[in-house]
């Protein structure tokens, strides 16, 4: 094999056939074999300035782990990734690599970038499928830190704090830890057994987990300080759905994407009646929105046997969903009705019957950099019997409602300073609770930053 493989395109990812996968919840992408991984790894030219590393929110030493794949040392490759990334199998699947590490890859200037995400997934899956019991050596300081929320940001912070020797307890409201990894992202994109394996790796660092505990109801922040925690990290996510505020949103058959996906994923409604979580899916489903969550909802509804249409007020080119997700949706025979905006949901006997849509046209670019949708005054009424609204989420409001000394933005985000501390001493925050709904890897990056700042805070107390 030549030193560098100058193939212009990535090694294709094996996938389930679209006409098969749109009827099951098994993972769509099947992963590389060792031969595929080594072939793709050989496309990396090991740049001197390593721009891909600067594009990674958690600073994975990408060329180093890729080189270890070529050397057939997959254990060391995993350890190299795990130096900075506590959830590599998850990140390899759901990170928007095209806007981060792969977006800065030198090979991507003229050709396709190196498939960094695919290689990270390959290495992590190798380790997760292997019985590996190397003990993690941690020297305990005896000091305690509480983490509120067991999503990607909380797990990342907890892991790093445990490695620094803190006794960490994660408090989570749900019966199962994982946050959006468990309730938001469908099985066919992120298998839940894999999430639990990654979670087990974090717990293996000595982190304790207390589920079914709502901080702000079951316990207050003051209760946690009274229990001897030196600092608290709030990673409560963005679980408050936004609605259209149009007539008919209270009809039966209307869901927020949050509720729909939580029923499907965390409560496994797609296995009904094996799991006693019914979810009403109509014959024709309208999914409102154009982001990744909208694609997840649409693709889930399709697998439940519905005829699904994504309704989006801008054009297809302005959709914020990852290209891979919208491409998979098209392959799976999901319909798209662009430049359309719902103005009324029409019911019959309390159930959704139709959706009135206003046609839109595109104007000048707005603050998002996308062309602004402008109403035309022209309308269509289309038959639908379920509507799933996916137009964004806001931070969980409970902490603000129960702690007047923690300041928030008007839209709900917790305000933090340069050290990630809130306006309450000893209470830090990060992830979607601060930024609003974003990506898994950005939430993890915020958790890592907070862990460093919490360590400094406690040492300087």
Give residue 136's pLDDT.
Answer: 63
Instruction: Report the percentage of the chain scoring pLDDT > 90.
Output: 86
Give residue 420's pLDDT.
Answer: 96
Question: Distances from the Cα of 350 to the Cαs of 251, 255, 258, 282, in angstroms?
Answer: 6, 14, 22, 14
Q: How confident is the model at residue 387 (pLDDT cuts 50, 70, 90)?
A: very high
Judgement on whether residues 185 and 310 belong to the same structural domain of the protein: no
CB 292 within 8 A of CB 300: no
Burial class (CB in 10 A: 0-12, 13-18, 19+), 113: buried
Judgement on whether residues 220 and 267 belong to the same structural domain of the protein: no
Give residue 370's pLDDT.
Answer: 86
Judgement on whether residues 322 and 379 belong to the same structural domain of the protein: yes
Q: How confident is the model at residue 135 (pLDDT cuts 50, 70, 90)?
A: low
Mean pLDDT of 277-300: 92
Q: Identify the domain containing residue 91 by its residue range.
A: 18-129
3 state DSSP class of 309? strand
Question: Distances from the Cα of 255 to the Cαs of 3, 248, 261, 412, 450, in angstroms?
Answer: 53, 12, 9, 22, 34
pTM: 0.92
Judgement on whether residues 297 and 210 belong to the same structural domain of the protein: no
Query: In this model, does residue 281 exceed pLDDT 90?
Result: no
Q: How confident is the model at residue 341 (pLDDT cuts 50, 70, 90)?
A: very high
Mean pLDDT of 164-172: 96
User: What are the tens digits of pLDDT across the range 37-83?
Assistant: 999 999 999 988 999 999 999 999 999 999 999 999 999 999 999 99
Is 44 within a domain? yes
Q: How confident is the model at residue 1 (pLDDT cuts 50, 70, 90)?
A: very low
Query: In this model, does residue 283 exceed pLDDT 50?
Result: yes
Is 419 within a domain? yes
- Dist CA 440 CA 435 (whole Å): 12
Mean of all residue pLDDT scores within the chain: 93
Mean pLDDT of 418-428: 96
Give residue 94's pLDDT.
Answer: 94
Give residue 215's pLDDT.
Answer: 95
Nearest CA among 178, 182, 183 for reference residue 202:
178
Instruction: Report the percentage of the chain scoring pLDDT > 70.
Output: 96
Judgement on whether residues 328 and 267 belong to the same structural domain of the protein: yes
Query: In this model, does residue 2 exceed pLDDT 50?
Result: no
Mean pLDDT of 19-41: 96
Tokens of 131: 């019985």
Is 348 within a domain? yes
Q: Which helix (H) or strand (E) holds 400?
A: helix 398-402
Judgement on whether residues 39 and 116 belong to the same structural domain of the protein: yes
Boundary residue ending a domain (100, 129, 158): 129
Burial class (CB in 10 A: 0-12, 13-18, 19+), 212: exposed
Query: In this model, does residue 228 exceed pLDDT 90?
Result: yes
User: What are the tens digits of pLDDT across the range 230-277?
Assistant: 999 999 999 899 999 999 999 999 999 999 999 888 777 677 667 677
Judgement on whether residues 328 and 374 belong to the same structural domain of the protein: yes
3 state DSSP class of 211? coil
Is 136 within a domain? no
């Amino acid at each position: 094999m030549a030193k560098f493989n100058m193939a212009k395109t990535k090694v294709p990812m094996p996938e389930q056939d679209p006409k098969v996968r749109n009827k099951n919840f098994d993972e769509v992408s099947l992963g590389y074999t060792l031969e595929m991984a080594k072939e793709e790894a050989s496309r990396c030219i090991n740049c001197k300035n390593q721009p891909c590393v600067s594009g990674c929110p958690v600073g994975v030493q990408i060329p180093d782990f890729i080189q270890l794949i070529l050397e057939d040392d997959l254990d060391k490759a995993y350890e190299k990734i795990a130096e900075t990334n506590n959830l590599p199998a998850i990140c390899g699947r759901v990170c928007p690599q095209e806007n981060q590490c792969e977006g800065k890859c030198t090979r991507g200037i003229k050709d396709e970038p190196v498939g960094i995400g695919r290689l990270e997934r390959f290495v992590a899956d190798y380790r997760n499928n292997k019985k590996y019991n190397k003990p993690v050596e941690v020297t305990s300081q005896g000091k305690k830190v509480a983490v509120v929320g067991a999503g990607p940001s909380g797990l990342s912070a907890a892991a790093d704090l445990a490695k620094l020797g803190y006794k960490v307890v994660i408090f989570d409201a749900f019966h199962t830890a994982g946050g959006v990894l468990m309730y938001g992202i469908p099985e066919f994109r992120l298998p839940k057994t894999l999430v639990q394996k990654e979670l087990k790796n974090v717990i293996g660092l000595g982190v304790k987990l207390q589920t079914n505990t709502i901080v702000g109801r079951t316990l207050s922040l003051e209760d946690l300080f009274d229990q001897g925690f030196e600092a608290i990290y709030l990673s409560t996510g963005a679980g408050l759905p936004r609605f259209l505020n149009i007539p008919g949103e209270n009809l039966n058959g209307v869901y927020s994407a949050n509720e729909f996906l939580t029923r499907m994923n965390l409560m496994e409604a797609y296995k009904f009646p094996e799991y006693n979580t019914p979810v009403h899916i109509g014959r024709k489903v309208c999914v409102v929105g154009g982001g990744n969550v909208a694609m997840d909802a649409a693709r889930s509804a399709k697998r439940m046997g519905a005829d699904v249409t994504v309704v989006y007020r801008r054009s297809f080119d302005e959709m914020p969903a990852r290209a891979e997700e919208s491409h998979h949706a098209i392959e799976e025979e999901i319909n798209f009705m662009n430049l359309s905006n719902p103005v009324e949901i029409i019911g019959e006997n309390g159930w959704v019957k139709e959706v009135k849509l206003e046609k839109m046209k595109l104007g000048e670019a707005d603050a998002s950099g996308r062309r602004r949708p402008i109403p035309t005054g022209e309308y269509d009424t289309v038959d639908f019997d379920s509507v799933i609204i996916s137009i964004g989420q806001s931070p969980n409001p409970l902490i603000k409602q129960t702690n007047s000394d923690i300041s928030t933005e008007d839209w709900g985000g917790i305000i933090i300073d340069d050290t990630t501390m809130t306006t309450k001493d000893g209470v830090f925050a990060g992830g979607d609770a601060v930024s609003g709904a974003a990506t898994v890897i950005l939430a993890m990056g915020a958790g890592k930053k907070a862990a460093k700042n919490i360590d400094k805070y406690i040492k300087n107390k």
